[in-house]
């Protein structure tokens, strides 16, 4: 089935299909799919994947009977279960949760940082069937944990979420993706940080081999705001983590970190793209991967410094350990600098585990497997020890132990 037929056949289930402006936008996207030759060499969203598998899907979406649970179990702390991309409405003095609205869609579709180039984002806009909006009200400091649940096999979730941190607010957000269904989640998070706000965003991904997870995040930071994203990918199924960030006002910061642990024939694709559009901003992009068996990974990092963005600091680092001769990790750091007073760097180191270090540890009586495990743990030690959330730290440690137990 081609994409247009698929869209037309399912139009009644797709959000906002009665809205003329949105329809016009979607017609444009359909054209892109019909005319694009899907140039794998030049389009980073196509690397290492068979897009056909994602285009020729059977559209199936299930409206959950019970949508979600929100529990203000401690002061300033919320727990949300998002079922098939839905979350019920909630409002108090600190936060407000609503269904995704047409205006949120329009707001995003005008942003040309991602539009057209990223086919998964285009698919998300075309087949949108779920999503929510969370507003953190001014000067509040809160914690939210979201468990993302898929209830059935063969579901295709196209979800847009909108997070707004109002001025002076602070959000600690933990998102868990642990799905065992044969299904696909294509999620777009649009995050807006107003002046002097802060968002620490943790994503734990641990899906079974049948579940495909595609997460794209777009963040924009206003004056004195900070966005931090830490992704921990333990999934046995395909995962894509793409992040597009814009530092739009002075003295804002973005810190994008990811660690992935993959094995078997699994693939993960990762991208971070930071646009410095104002002066005195900082960005940090660090991804580390451990790859076993015949697994494959990509990581594209990109820093764009606009000519007005003087006093920029932008750092990129990519590191990988290949535990098997058949594993591969493609990393491509890029810097485009149009300002003259900046500090920027990038680096990439990928290779097998250090045999000299293994020999050193074994020469002290440690077995080869124990030495390998200790070196893997040490490779990510800096990132793990910097987790200041005890609950998160425990979860990650347990998953790491599970991954290491399968390393031979």
Q: With respect to another protein, which residue has the nearer C-beta, 52 or 364?
A: 364
Give the x-and-dash track for 319-358 against another protein (CB under 8 A).
-----------------------------------x-xx-
Q: Cβ-count burial of 181 within 10 angstroms (0-12 exposed, 13-18 middle, 19+ buried)? A: middle
Among 163, 177, 379, 403, binds another protein (CB under 8 A): 379
We find the least distance from the C-beta atom of residue 49 to another protein, in angstroms, to be: 32
- Work out how close the CB of 322 gets to another protein at its nearest, in angstroms, rounded to a whole number: 18
Question: Could you say whether residue 393 binds another protein (CB under 8 A)?
Answer: no
Which has the closest alpha carbon to 107: 90, 125, 89? 125
What is the distance between the alpha carbons of residues 174 and 333, in angstroms, rounded to a whole number? Answer: 28
Least distance in angstroms from the C-beta of 349 to another protein:
12
* Token output for 375: 């070196």
Task: Match 């535990």 to its residue by tokens.
Answer: 323
CA–CA distance, 370 with 376 (Å, rounded to integer): 10
Place of tokens 């009200």: 137
Q: How far is CA 215 from the centre of its chain?
A: 4
3-state secondary structure (DSSP) of residue 395: helix
Map tokens 């993706």 to a residue: 177
Nearer to another protein, 340 or 365 (CB): 365
Q: Which is nearer to another protein, 38 or 360 (CB)?
A: 360
Contact pattern for another protein over residues 351 through 370, marking x by CB under 8 A: ---x-xx-xxxxxxxxxx-x
Q: Which is nearer to another protein, 199 or 400 (CB)?
A: 400
- Only one of the segments 104-112, 236-244, 254-262, 377-385 lies at the binding site for another protein (rule: CB under 8 A); that segment is 377-385
408 touching another protein, by CB under 8 A: no
The residue among 104, 110, 101, 129 whose CA lies nearest residue 25 is: 110
Helix residue ranges, H only, 118-192: 119-126
Interface with another protein (CB under 8 A), residue from 101, 342, 375, 387? 375
> 237, 211 in Cβ contact below 8 A?
yes
Helix (H, G, I), strand (E, B) or coil at 102: helix
Least separation in angstroms between residue 380's CB and another protein is 8
| Total residues at interface with another protein (CB under 8 A) | 22
Residues in 40-69 that interact with another protein by CB under 8 A? none
Query: First-to-last CA distance in the chain?
Result: 43
The reply on whether position 381 binds another protein by CB under 8 A is: yes
Minimum CB distance to another protein, residue 53 (Å)? 38
Query: Closest approach of Cβ 355 to another protein, in Å?
Result: 8
Q: Considering beta carbons, is residue 27 or 352 the nearer one to another protein? A: 352
Sign of CA dihedral 353, 354, 355, 357: negative
Which residues lie near another protein (CB under 8 A)?
Answer: 354, 356-357, 359-368, 370, 374-375, 377-382
């Amino acid at each position: 089935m081609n994409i247009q037929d698929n869209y037309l056949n399912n139009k009644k289930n797709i959000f906002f299909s009665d809205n003329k402006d949105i329809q016009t936008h979607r017609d444009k996207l359909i054209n892109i799919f019909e005319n694009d030759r899907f140039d794998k060499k030049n389009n980073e969203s196509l690397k290492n994947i068979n897009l056909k598998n994602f285009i020729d899907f059977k559209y199936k979406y299930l409206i959950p009977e019970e949508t979600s649970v929100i529990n203000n179990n401690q002061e300033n702390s919320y727990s949300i279960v998002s079922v098939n991309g839905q979350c019920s409405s909630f409002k108090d003095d600190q936060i407000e949760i609503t269904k995704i609205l047409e205006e949120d869609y329009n707001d995003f579709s005008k942003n040309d940082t991602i539009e057209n180039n990223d086919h998964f984002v285009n698919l998300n806009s075309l087949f949108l069937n779920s999503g929510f909006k969370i507003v953190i009200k001014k000067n509040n400091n809160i914690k939210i944990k979201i468990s993302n649940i898929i209830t059935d096999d063969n579901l295709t979730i196209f979800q847009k979420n909108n997070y707004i941190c109002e001025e002076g607010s602070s959000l600690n957000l933990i998102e868990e993706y642990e799905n065992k269904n044969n299904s696909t989640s294509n999620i777009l998070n649009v995050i807006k940080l107003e002046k002097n706000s802060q968002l620490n965003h943790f994503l734990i991904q641990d899906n079974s081999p049948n579940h495909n997870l595609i997460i794209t995040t777009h963040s924009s930071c206003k004056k004195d705001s900070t966005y931090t994203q830490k992704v921990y990918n333990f999934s046995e199924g395909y995962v894509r983590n793409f992040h597009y960030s814009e530092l739009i006002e002075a003295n804002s910061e973005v810190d994008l970190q990811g660690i992935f642990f993959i094995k078997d024939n699994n693939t993960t694709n990762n991208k971070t793209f930071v646009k410095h559009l104002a002066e005195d901003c900082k960005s940090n992009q660090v991804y580390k991967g451990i790859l076993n068996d015949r697994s494959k990974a990509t990581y594209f990092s990109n820093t764009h410094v606009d000519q007005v963005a003087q006093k920029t600091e932008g750092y990129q680092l990519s590191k990988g350990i290949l535990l098997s001769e058949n594993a591969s990790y493609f990393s491509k750091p890029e810097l485009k600098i149009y300002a003259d007073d900046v500090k920027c760097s990038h680096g990439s180191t990928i290779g097998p585990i250090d045999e000299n270090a293994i020999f050193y540890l074994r020469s002290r009586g440690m077995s080869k497997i124990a030495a390998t495990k200790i070196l893997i743990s040490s490779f990510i030690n800096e990132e793990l020890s910097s987790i200041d959330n005890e609950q998160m730290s425990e979860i990650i440690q347990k998953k790491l132990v599970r991954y290491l137990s399968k390393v031979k």
